[in-house]
Amino acid sequence: MNRLFALGLSLFISTMSWADVKVVYHLSEGIPQASRAIGNIRNHLNADPTAKIVVVTHGQGIDFLLDGATNQANQPFAGSIGELAGRGVQFRVCNNTLVTRNVSKDRVVMEASVVPSGVAEVARLQAKEGYVYLRP
């Protein structure tokens, strides 16, 4: 029985190490951080194409996910967001931030979804869904 238990446990652990890597990118700083994050995520997916990436934003971190947002070089974020969404990246925007900053949900790009709380989402993904953390 102990042998079978050990077998089962090692199978369980092996399964974990076969599983795809799941990563939450945590963004709260604003446009420069978002620009860095987009380059980071592109490199991340090139190095590990099966990585599952969720970008959770709150505070100034949501700015690049509003319609018409542009980076420091005045180039629109829309293309990069669409490209990454096409590679499976998910984007989430904090509703507390929308309310506090008086930003309408209508301004959030269609590739992003709204969650009640950005920080609670960052914690939940790690604690309940096996995501690891990365702050770009």
Cα–Cα distance measured from residue 111 to residue 93, given in angstroms and rounded to the nearest whole number: 11
Closest CB 68 distance from its own copies, rounded Å: 26
Identify which of residues 68 and 72 has a Cβ nearer to its own copies in the complex: 72
Q: Convert 93-115 to b/e letters by CB count within 10 Å (16 or more is b).
A: bbbebbeeeeeeeeebbeebeeb
Which residues contact its own copies by CB under 8 A? Answer: 1-2, 4-6, 8-9, 12, 17, 19, 21-23, 26, 28, 36, 40-41, 43-44, 46-48, 51, 58-59, 94, 96, 116-120, 122-124, 126-128, 130, 132-136
Identify which of residues 22 and 107 has a Cβ nearer to its own copies in the complex: 22
Cross-strand partners of 134: 25
Cα–Cα distance measured from residue 130 to residue 134, given in angstroms and rounded to the nearest whole number: 13
- What angle in degrees, to the nearest 10, is found between the helix axes of 31-47 and 78-86? 30
Identify which of residues 39 and 67 has a Cβ nearer to its own copies in the complex: 39
Closest CB 79 distance from its own copies, rounded Å: 19
